[in-house]
Amino acid sequence: MSLFHKVPILSLSILFLIYCVFGWLLSIATPEVLESLYQLTGEPNHDSWVML
């Protein structure tokens, strides 16, 4: 029974770790993606932000 009680906590901690790493990578990648979108559109457009 002890293993049954440890598994959910372990899985939740792993999911939380993956979520933190994904959020960290997303926060790093977002400015580069926005810059590439600005270069593709030619100028920063707030309407494109609304569409996203």
The model's pLDDT over 33-47, given as tens digits with 9 standing for 90+, comes to: 778 877 776 665 555
Reported as a single tens digit per residue, the pLDDT across 1-52 is: 566 567 788 888 999 999 999 988 888 878 777 788 777 766 655 555 555 5
Q: Residue 30 is which amino acid?
A: T
pLDDT at 39: 76
Identify whether the C-beta of residue 44 lies closer than 8 Å to the C-beta of residue 38. yes
pLDDT at 3: 61
Domain boundaries, given as residue ranges, for the chain? 2-51
Q: Residue 9 is which amino acid?
A: I
How is residue 20 annotated by DSSP? Answer: H
Give the number of other CB atoms < 10 A from CB of residue 38: 13
d(CA 8, CA 17): 14
pLDDT at 37: 72
